[in-house]
Structure formats: C-alpha cells, structure tokens
Amino acid sequence: MTSLVSARNVSKSFGALHAVDDVSFDIEKGRIMGLIGPNGAGKTTLLKAMLGLTDCQGSLSVLGLDPFRQRRELMQNICFIADVAVLPRWIRVDQLLDFLESVHPRFSRSRAEELLAKTDINSKSKVRELSKGMVTQLHLSIITAIDAKLLVLDEPTIGLDIIFRKEFYGNLLNDYFDGERTIIITTHQVEEIENLLTDVMFINHGKVVLDAKMDDIPEGYVELLTSGENVAKAQQFSPIYEREVFGKKVFTFEGVDRDQLTGLGELRTPDIADLFVAKVKGGSA
Amino acid sequence: MIRNQVALLRREFWEHRAIFFVPVIVAVLMVLTSLTGQVSIGDMEHIDIGILGATNMPDSARSAALSGLMIALSSTFVFAMWILTIFYSLDSLYAERKDRSILFWRSIPCSDFETVLSKLLTAVFVIPLVTFMVIVATHLLVLLNVTIWVDMRGGSVWHLIWSAAPFVDNWTATLVFLLALPLWLSPFIGWFLFVSAFTKRSPLLMAALPIVMLPLLEKILFDSAVFAETFFVRSVKMPLFAGLDNVEILFQEGDEFARLAEAKLSLLSLMDLGGFLINPQLWLGIIVCGLFTAAAIYVRRYRDES
C-alpha cells in the first residue's frame, strides 16, 4: 500500500495554543478516514495544513507534494468541501460548470451534468436561489465529477437535515468512492458515518489519541456491560473509561483479551462515538 | 496560464455585474437626455439649421464641435469608470472572504497569484475596455438621434455629421486615455486591492483613511504638504497631454481653445503618448502598484481564514 498522506511530527501553534501538537500518521490509498475530535481539537487546522491553506512545522507530504508550497499542483488532485456554505452565492450553476471546465484539468462536465440531472437543480439557477440541501448536492456533484485522488470533507453536512445527510453519504459511496479514491472526513455526527469508514483517527488537544483501522477495533477494544460484584472484578483489568447506563456499569477496555472478561457480563465492540468518549475523557482523567 | 486567466477574468465579469451595468446605465441616461433634448426643441419648427451655425461654419469648426460633444459624453463615463474601479478594487478580495467562498476558490487549481492578477487586470484593462465599447455605442446613438433631428429639417446629415465627426481620432484618443488613466492611477488601485485583501470590515473607510490622514498629519506635524501634493498630482495631473492637464483640457477657452481648433481638433495630436510612457512618475506609480499587489497576494496566501 502506498501512503497518500504522510505526516511526521507536524505541529502548528497560534501563539501559546498548540492547535496541532507533534502529530505523525499515514493515510493509505483507497481508504475512508474519519478524523474525529471535539471542537478546537485541531481537526480543521490539520486539514488546512494538508490542503496547503496554512503552513506548519514538521514534515507533511500529500500525494508526494508539499501542500503549502505546491498547493496549485496539489489542487489538481485534491478536492475539498470545507463547509456547504462556501459556494459563491452569486454564481449560476452553468457558470460554475463553465469555470471548472476551464480551470480544472480533471473536471468532467458531462459527469457533473449527469449527476445534476438526477437532482432538482436547474442549471440556470443561482446558488443563492437553491436550498441548503441543494447546494450540498451541487457541491458533491461537482466534486464527484472531478477525478481527484483525495477528497477532504470538513463537516460537510453541518446544518443539513437528516434526509439530506443520509443522501449525501449515500451518494458519496455510490457515485464517488470507487476503491481507488481516498476520502478524509471530519464530522460531529460520528454515528452517521461509522459504517462507511475504513479507518478512524481521534484527535484531542492537538494530539492523535487513536489511529486505527475499523477492522482492528473489535480486537483492540471491548465494552463490558455489568453490575453487582462483577464491577470490582472488571475494574481489576484497568478499564480506560467507565460510565453508567440504566444502573449498570459500562467499562471500556483497551488491549484486554475478551476471554479474560467472559463471564463478567455482556461483551460488545464499542461504537465509535462511545470509543471516542472513552479515549478522550479516559485519556484526560 | 492563459486559460486559467481567461476563466478568472470571466468569473470577475460574472461576479461584478457593475462592470457592465454602470457604463450601460450612464449610456442610457445620456441617450435619454439626448432624446429629451430633441423632444423639447421639437416644437421649434421655425428654427433653421443655418441659424444654429451648423451649415455656415468651417469644416474644422464643425469637427471641433462634434468632437466637443463626443468628449462631453465620454467625460461622464470616465468619471463613472473611476468610481466603478474604486468600488470594484475594494470589493474584489473582500467579498470572497465575507461570504466565505474563498474556501471554494482556493480549492480550485488556480494560484493566489493568478487570482489576484485577474482582479488587477480587471481593474486596469477590462473595466476601461468595456467602458470604451459602451462609449462608442453611446456616441453612435446620440449622433443617430441628432441625425434624425437634422434630417427632419432638411439638413445634409452626411455633410453635417457623419463626414464631419472625427470618429477615428476621437475614439483612438478615448481608448488611449481610458487605458492610460488606470495605469497612471495604478498606485491607488494597488492600494485598494491590498486593503480589500486584509481588511476585516469597511474597506472603503480603511482605504480612504490614510489618503485623508497622511496629508493631515504631515501638515500638523511638519507643516509640509508632500503627501497632499503627491496625492493631488496623482489624482488630477496625468502627464498624457503635452502641457495640459487631463482635467483642464475639458475646460479650455480662448487661446487654448484656438489651439484645439488649429490642431483641427485632433485629440491624438494633443496627446504625448511617448512622453507619457517614458515618464518616471508613471513607472514609479506602476512599481508602487506592483508592491501593493504583491502584498495582497501575500495576505491572501498566508493569512489563515479560520
């Protein structure tokens, strides 16, 4: 596997604030990586560094390029949706297609038109006349029509209702993702993208708290639902986090063999949201 | 990349409809004024064209009169064009930040250099060229209107108007003037682009503040007027006309008017384009514009918008 993004000791500070603090990771080709962290954790700063929108310390390479210094070349192979609200409101849909056709060597107008034909978007409409959901559809359609190696989505569905969110991710998988392309995505609504991720990375206070393949999570992490005398036994295995649900204790373990916990209660693989809370809260406790 | 530049220039034209609408609105007002004028004197059937002096004046004077009409029409456009250029330059890098679409524009494989360049080129070339085309159309429409009026009174329209109006000379001179003006005023344009790139609010105020405050402070602190004179000379004294200022030329009377008539009202012969192009002040201004533009590119590239 070739790594598409490679970060070694990447840092970015704003004054005394270490937005990204000595981070190292690799993202391989053909993966869908979820970048998850609380507000102000440094997700957006890290994405901006990868997109060449901000400079950073350390060594960062995206598609073999230095994103900040070779941003123009990089943008031929990267797409990003920073937020749905960023398409210029004055532009007409057909003008947008005209423009992209002229400046983007990898943009296929026919593909974009084909995708837009499936929506209610009129090519003579201005962006400001479209509903928020339609703007998202438009943005995703043009991005899908760009034959880029890497797609970066920063909170792409913020402010959208559930139907559009589901549709957005559905279209992303059906139209965009083909196993060759790579996607990096950040969102607050973790549960909604959980099933589409192949990799997950948690960020807190500018540091990577977890960097794992989704397939490896069941092996590395287990949740135990228990009560009564088993609670004390479970605590001996030093859980990374514990919480209470309906009077029962839920423990999250890292690197503890499931066999050792069998008999203490109900075992299950934590979902991403719970694991995130466990890692972030457990880590800081 | 020519292809990118053309696309970016087209984008400016789409985004800033005023580039087209401002001169067109001025043109509509001009043509309407000309029509109203014709209607209001429509009753005066007894007026002989000869009395108006059109038939019995020498050819050169008739040319001069027509050229005067054309200049009068053009000068309003020049004024409107400069106002438009100020507002366009101030908005060009500010609007995309205000509506956050800069994140979209920066996701496209166009460099910050190319993007800012497209805005400078719009201010320096596109706006004057569009204005020029609208001026030509306005000249033709107003003269057409006059033609109808003269024809209805039995005058020879070919002799009185169409063969007399110095189109080539007037239009060439107008085009040269329209293209020279933004070059001469380019330090202001560069400054406006820079302000547009960095200011968080009210670009007009931010841009005007130093232009007003610097001469004022200088006067108070040093009792001198270097800034005031620099700004003033730059604003009104474009060295394109040999010995005449661009503002004064519109208001020449007496001897100078005779000089215009002697030159058979060739506007081109009044211009000293060579002298203008080798004027150090022009190039100094262009360098200042280049520095401000480079600063605008730098700000757009390096500033974190989050």
From chain A, pick out residues whose CB is under 8 angstroms from the CB of B306.
44-45, 48
Given a cut of 60, whether residue B220 has pLDDT beyond it is yes
Is residue B248 pLDDT above 80, yes or no? no
CB within 8 Å: B111 and A71: yes
Select the residue of B14, B15, B100 nearest A86 (Cβ to Cβ): B100
Residue of B nearest to A87 (CA): B101
Region B223-228: what's the mean pLDDT?
82
The answer to whether residue B264 scores a pLDDT higher than 50 is no
pLDDT band, very low/low/confident/very high, at A181 (cuts 50, 70, 90): confident
* ipTM for the whole predicted complex goes beyond 0.90: no
Q: Is A88–B101 a contact, with Cβ atoms under 8 angstroms apart?
A: yes
The mean pLDDT value of chain A amounts to 86
Residue-number span of the structural domain to which B250 is assigned: 2-302
Q: Does domain A3-205 have CATH number 3.30.70.1070?
A: no
Give the model confidence (pLDDT) of A225-235 as tens digits. 888 888 888 88
B6 touches chain A (CB under 8 A): yes
Among partner residues B7, B11, B101, which is closest to A86 by beta-carbon distance?
A: B101
Element (H, E) at A70: none
Kindly state the tokens that stand for A121.
């978007």
Domain count, chain B: 1
The tens digit of pLDDT for each residue in B132-155 reads: 999 999 999 999 988 888 888 777
A252 phi and psi, to 5 degrees? Answer: -110, 125
Predicted structure pTM score: 0.86
Phi, psi of A159 (to 5 degrees): 80, 5
For A79, which of B102, B107, B302 is closest by C-beta distance?
B107
pLDDT of residue A72: 84
Q: For A188-205, what is each residue's pLDDT tens digit?
A: 778 888 888 999 999 888
Q: What is the least distance, in Å, from the CA of A41 to any CA of chain B?
A: 14
Structure tokens belonging to residue A81? 């949706």
Task: Give me the percent of chain A exceeding a pLDDT of 70.
Answer: 97
**Average pLDDT value for chain B:** 84
Whole-number Å distance between alpha carbons of B92 and B95:
6
Query: Which of A282, A285, A276, A284 minimizes the C-alpha distance to A210?
Result: A276
Q: Is the pLDDT of residue B247 over 60?
A: no
Percent of all residues in chain B with a pLDDT value above 70, rounded to a whole number:
85
Instruction: Pick from A13, A102, A138, A152 the residue to mutate for testing the B interface (most B CBs within 10 Å).
Output: A102
> Which residue, among B6, B94, B106, B303, would best test binding to A if mutated, counting the most A CBs under 10 Å from its CB?
B106
Q: Quick one: pLDDT at residue B262?
A: 53
- Written as one letter, the residue type at B207 is A
Contact B109 A92 (CB under 8 A): no
CA distance B17 to chain A (A): 10
Residues of chain B positioned with their CB less than 8 A from the CB of A50 = none
**Sequence-distant (≥ 6) Cβ neighbours of residue B17 within 8 angstroms:** none
- Whether B225 and chain A come into contact, CB under 8 Å, resolves to no
Exposure of A144 by Cβ count < 10 A (0-12 exposed, 13-18 middle, 19+ buried)?
buried
Domain extent listing, chain A: 3-205, 216-284
